Homo-oligomer: A and B are copies of this chain.
């Protein structure tokens, strides 16, 4: 909803709103799946909205893209084959390909228009799209994972919109079973898991669905994300078995730049805040 020169998203599930001061709308496209809008803001660079929900801003997307990528990649012992479901803005792909050990990263987003808009308005996120290790597909992520050869993937990253609309099928047992099958025995699934403050029940349900698909161990990592409801967001890691040994030395000597992610930060969030631990039964 636009109010004067502010774009305000009134997020009904949490009863809270977040918005930005804008100077105008730059673009709008109705894809076969969703409406994508681009605004210019006074302080946050470009703003992408999908079906009325804030997706990212130029200024603050690094929190999310770093935290959905580096913790899982520094937890897996040696990730070589990575699949990104969703992630059409290409920011996650860029972070993943900062890891020299990654040999191939396939991004499968159902909506090509998200990537086309990102190339135009967030070109810095698309820096690695022409990396020879990158493969960009525009297809149904549910079908892609269902057809993925068994035991072929080290890390699956589910970088999707909220669990309504096009992304609904990425939050249930059937999809997680496909991920479980596609992952090697030591593989890890990571998924954006909404606000750990206001949507903890959703995280709990998500972990329950992952559990029904066979995953046995879970870790939810919180991080700031100013443009998402409550400004505090999370990713949830799931493994077939075993714990979440963190390659701390490798993270401390990662050899590439990040804006938010550090090894000490990663260690710090491995223990959940007490109120989160209580709800999640940790």
Contact = CB atoms under 8 A, between A and B. Distances in A.
A41 interface: yes
A18 interface: yes
Contact of A17 (B6, B62, B266): B6
How many identical subunits does the complex contain?
2
Interface stretch (A116-124, A127-135, A225-233): A225-233
Contacts of A6: 10, 17
A275 B257 CA distance: 10
Contacts of A59: 197
A64 to B, nearest CB: 13
Contacts of A261: 273
Contacts of A10: 6, 19, 21
22 contacts: A3-B8, A8-B8, A8-B19, A15-B21, A15-B42, A16-B43, A16-B44, A17-B19, A59-B197, A60-B230, A62-B275, A224-B231, A226-B231, A257-B274, A259-B274, A259-B275, A260-B274, A262-B273, A264-B267, A265-B269, A266-B268, A268-B269
